[in-house]
Amino acid sequence: MKNIINEEATTKKNFIIANLGLASASMSGILGAVTFFCFWPKPSPILVLAILASALLGIFLGVLIRKSGLGKPAMIVGGINATIWLAVGIAVQFANG
């Protein structure tokens, strides 16, 4: 009986971590869109770094819970958003000289 309760608690914990990972990876994309469409010529440095931090948090939480159904999508979405952040950052650096 104690083992069943322990498994249920672990499953709930894994579900919460997986949802947080996917939500933070998705938030990275939302922050990127807001930055691009609302603040583009001169975005706030904190907002720009929050995009990367959110993507990396999604990847980290996805790796922790990779066997879950939401763990792999969190890693994928976070990885795509971090790649886009890096590509835009490099393009902006080259454009500014």
Instruction: Please give the chain's pLDDT, 97 residues, in tens.
Output: 556 556 666 788 888 998 999 999 999 999 999 998 998 888 889 999 999 999 999 999 999 988 888 889 999 999 999 999 999 989 988 888 6
Structure-block tokens of residue 68: 């879950």
Phi, psi of 43 (to 5 degrees): -75, 155
Structure-block tokens of residue 36: 């691009």
Structure-block tokens of residue 63: 């790796």
Cβ atoms of 59 and 25 within 8 Å: the answer is yes
Task: Locate all alpha helices (DSSP H) within 1-97, ordered by sequence.
Answer: 2-39, 45-64, 71-96
- pTM of the predicted model, to two decimals? 0.85
> Rg for the chain (alpha carbons), in Å?
17
DSSP letter for 70, please. T
